[in-house]
Amino acid sequence: YYTNNENLESSPEEFIYRYREKELTFISDNGVFSKKMIDYGSRVLLDTIKIDSNKKSLLDVGCGYGTFGVSLKSVYPFLQVEMVDVNERAIALSKENAVQNHLTNTKIYPSDGLVAVRDSDFSAILTNPPIRAGKNVVFAFYEKSFAKLRTGGELWVVIQKKQGAPSSAKHLEEIFGNVSVVAKRKGYYILKAIKV
């Protein structure tokens, strides 16, 4: 799911996700993360995050089929949302899911990490990082996110304790000078770092 495999057989599935009074329809497929439903860790992050109206722009890094971008844009329509993923199928699905849920003002495009991201004034960046891609890839997400946030901007990360939450927290502290564990549920940590 964290690479671009164009030879993978397609077998789309559709499911409903209820998020803060919104009923969202997602289409998923082979070769993307958590095909059959929004994964537990992402749901914990979505349940935890609050977006106030002075936060105008959000970047979903490693967006998969659009979990964070689609869900948050549907609840906070004032947000300008960008979604990126290295996986072309994920990008196609994110575009389809944005249309399916009647979202406008979204930019969805392929990017290896944050390489193709031009804006450097995001209010919030969210990621459920591709742990299986390795620590170097995940830490690069964090480092590049710092450069793409405005002052006061927030990086939100969901990561399991057993998959490196403590080392992620330590690395975020080194980059941002701060990190907080906003939530812990069933071994999942929601980390937030603020660019000060």
pLDDT tens per residue, range 5-61: 566 788 889 999 999 999 999 999 988 877 778 999 999 999 999 998 888 999 999
The two three-digit tokens of residue 12, written as one number: 């789309």
How much is the pLDDT for 3? 54
* pLDDT beyond 80 at 4: no
How much is the pLDDT for 79? 95
d(CA 37, CA 179): 29
**Helices 88-100 and 67-75, interaxial angle, to 10°?**
20
Banded model confidence at residue 178, pLDDT cuts 50, 70, 90? very high
How much is the pLDDT for 156? 98
How many CB atoms are closer than 10 A to CB 44? Answer: 20
Average pLDDT over the chain, rounded to an integer: 93
* pLDDT beyond 60 at 195: yes
Checking phi first, is residue 102 left (phi over 0); if not, alpha (psi -120 to 50) or beta? left
* pLDDT beyond 50 at 1: no
For residues 94 and 72, is the Cβ–Cβ distance under 8 A?
Answer: no
Nearest-Å Rg of the Cα atoms of the chain is: 15
The two three-digit tokens of residue 153, written as one number: 């901007």
The two three-digit tokens of residue 131, written as one number: 């742990």
pLDDT tens per residue, range 47-77: 999 998 888 999 999 999 999 999 999 999 9
How much is the pLDDT for 189? 97
